[in-house]
């Protein structure tokens, strides 16, 4: 059997976020998720909101022990803006939140787990959304920089890896194009403005971090989804080019290559969607430098040239293509029939190597969705059997190892997620965790994936197909 060893010092762990795990205990303010659930609980699967979730606020010590048991040497989560900050205008912190995050990060460090801390994971404070429109307003980018400064000053001497934003395109898509995030608007021009302002907020946070001269690194996490065509026709290739430009390069080029794609600006101008900007702000974005990139990947994007007229009365990227399902594709039978395509990992890595200066990067999220029924009950040995997930993760890691062998500058892998966590309007519809969360009791139950991962991390590699067969 083939053995795959990863570079020395490789990061192994998981990713999560504050709003999806901490619960609402002792929060200083509500976020847009708290208020949206209060206003429209019917939008959320089984009407489960973010109030309790994993209760990390009170259970983090036991959970960190489970992280260590699962083999983690690193873990990404986020600081909630609405928890840490008492006064949004000044950036003054909440004392209880400060103590919680100190204790949480210290517990990780004491157990040999490097905390990688993100500042924004879709959780705009309610007050800033209602008063200013959130990132519709450039003023909120300044408030974000004050929040970032407070976080850096409080925790920057123990946290060595910082992330400004997780998947910054998602609030744009969900909140301003496709109606799956608050504020549920459909406005192409406003979407472009929010995208620009998020990049501006990122750049301001990076500037603050550099000013403080802290002993660490700062980066950003982008969801990069390769676009694959129905066939090799020029029309389909052009459709894929548009999809890549609008979904991937729109953030990747400004934040990593330090330039706004000329073609993107021309498209936005043609649709009357150019955001309002200043040269100072554009220069701040293109002059900022990240130390590393995080990449989230789950499924490929399949596109074809448009065959039906575009009928929406506002601009979305689909003006230039239609989504496509490969009739010969391979699909996950256990959750929404998502396509399984490990080759995309190699393609992403090659793109970063060849077109983005081979910047240091890590696989910040990857996961295989299942539901409770498909994972099955607890087995006689006390473990939940999710071998399907393990087999697919090995296939993806095989592609990543191949990419590293061919020069990709990847330094780690974080799976989504540690414990089954609350996931926005999908609530607990999809399960990804190394540990199952019992929604009735809050109990954590280990899955076979966690045992496999602990062996993977301990040996810094795996033998393809050997787990559970006595040849590890």
Backbone angles phi, psi at 295, to 5 degrees: -125, 125
Find out whether 275 and 201 touch, Cβ atoms under 8 Å.
no
Convert the pLDDT of each residue in 316-343 to its tens digit: 999 999 999 999 999 998 866 789 999 9
From CA 240, how far away is CA 376, in angstroms rounded?
38
* Per-residue pLDDT at 470: 54
Convert the pLDDT of each residue in 125-140 to its tens digit: 999 999 999 999 999 9
- What is the percentage of the chain residues whose pLDDT exceeds 90? 94
Give the chain's domains with CATH numbers: 3-463 (3.20.20.80)
From CA 47, how far away is CA 355, in angstroms rounded?
44
Convert the pLDDT of each residue in 184-215 to its tens digit: 999 999 999 999 999 999 999 999 999 999 99
In the structure encoding, which two tokens stand for residue 293, read together? 């990139």
* Per-residue pLDDT at 50: 93
Residue 52 has pLDDT above 90, yes or no: no
Coil, strand or helix at 208:
helix
Distance of CA 376 to the CA centre of its chain: 27
In the structure encoding, which two tokens stand for residue 26, read together? 């002792």
Which run of H or E residues covers position 412? strand 410-416
Mean per-residue pLDDT, 366-384: 92
Q: Which residues pair with 407 in a beta bridge?
A: none
Find out whether 146 and 91 touch, Cβ atoms under 8 Å.
yes
Convert the pLDDT of each residue in 125-179 to its tens digit: 999 999 999 999 999 999 999 999 999 999 999 999 999 999 999 999 999 999 9
Residue 469 has pLDDT above 80, yes or no: no
In the structure encoding, which two tokens stand for residue 145, read together? 């920089």
Q: State the average pLDDT for the chain.
A: 96
- What is the percentage of the chain residues whose pLDDT exceeds 70? 99
225 by Cβ neighbours in 10 Å (0-12 / 13-18 / 19+) ranks as buried
Convert the pLDDT of each residue in 73-111 to its tens digit: 999 999 999 999 999 999 999 999 999 999 999 999 999
Give the residue numbers annotated as catalytic, written as ranges. Answer: 167, 365
Q: How confident is the model at residue 440 (pLDDT cuts 50, 70, 90)?
A: very high
Residue 395 has pLDDT above 50, yes or no: yes
* Per-residue pLDDT at 337: 75
Is 334 or 453 the better-scoring residue by pLDDT? 453
DSSP 316-347: -GGGG-EE---TT--B-TTTTT-B--THHHHH
Find out whether 125 and 31 touch, Cβ atoms under 8 Å.
yes
Residue 472 has pLDDT above 70, yes or no: no
Find out whether 27 and 53 touch, Cβ atoms under 8 Å.
no
Residue 471 has pLDDT above 70, yes or no: no
Strands (E), 255-334: 292-296, 301-304, 322-323
């Amino acid at each position: 059997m083939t053995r795959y060893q990863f570079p020395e010092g490789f990061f192994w762990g998981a990713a999560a976020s504050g709003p999806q795990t901490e619960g609402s205990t002792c929060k200083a303010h509500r976020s847009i998720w708290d208020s949206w659930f209060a206003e429209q609980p019917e939008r959320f699967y089984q009407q489960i909101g973010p109030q309790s979730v994993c209760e990390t606020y009170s259970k983090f010590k036991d959970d960190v022990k489970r992280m260590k048991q699962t083999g983690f040497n690193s873990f990404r989560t986020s600081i909630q803006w609405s928890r840490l900050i008492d006064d949004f205008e000044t950036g003054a912190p909440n004392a209880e939140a400060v103590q919680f995050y100190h204790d949480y990060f210290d517990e990780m460090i004491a157990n040999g787990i490097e905390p990688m801390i993100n500042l924004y994971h879709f959780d705009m404070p309610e007050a800033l959304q209602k008063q200013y429109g959130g990132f519709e307003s450039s003023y909120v980018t300044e408030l974000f920089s004050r929040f970032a400064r407070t976080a850096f000053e409080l925790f920057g001497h123990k946290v060595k890896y910082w992330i400004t934003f997780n998947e910054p395109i998602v609030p744009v898509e969900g909140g301003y194009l496709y109606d799956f995030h608050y504020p549920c608007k459909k406005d192409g021009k406003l979407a472009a403005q929010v995208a620009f302002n998020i990049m501006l907020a990122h750049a301001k946070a990076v500037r603050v971090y550099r000013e403080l001269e802290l002993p660490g690194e700062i980066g950003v996490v982008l969801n990069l989804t390769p676009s694959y065509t129905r066939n090799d026709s020029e029309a389909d290739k052009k459709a894929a080019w548009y999809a890549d430009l609008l979904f991937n390069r729109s953030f990747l080029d400004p934040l990593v290559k330090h330039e706004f794609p000329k073609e993107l600006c021309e498209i936005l101008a043609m649709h009357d969607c150019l955001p309002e900007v200043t040269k100072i702000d554009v220069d701040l974005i293109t002059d900022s430098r990240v130390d590393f990139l995080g990449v989230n990947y789950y499924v490929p994007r399949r596109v074809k040239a448009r065959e039906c007229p575009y009928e929406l009365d506002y601009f979305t990227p689909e003006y230039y293509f239609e989504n496509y399902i490969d009739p010969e594709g391979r699909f996950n039978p256990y959750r929404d029939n998502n396509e399984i395509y490990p080759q995309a990992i190699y393609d992403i890595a090659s793109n970063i190597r060849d077109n983005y200066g081979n910047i240091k990067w890590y696989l910040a999220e990857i996961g295989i969705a299942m539901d409770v029924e498909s994972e099955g009950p607890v087995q006689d040995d006390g473990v939940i059997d999710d071998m399907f997930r393990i087999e697919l993760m090995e296939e993806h890691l095989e592609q990543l190892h191949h990419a590293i062998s061919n020069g990709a500058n990847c330094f780690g892998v974080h799976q989504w997620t540690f414990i089954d966590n609350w996931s926005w309007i999908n609530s607990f519809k999809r399960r990804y965790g190394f540990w199952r969360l019992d929604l009735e009791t809050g109990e954590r139950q280990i899955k076979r994936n966690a045992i496999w991962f602990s062996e993977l991390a301990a040996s810094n590699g795996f033998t393809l197909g050997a787990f559970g067969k006595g040849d590890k």
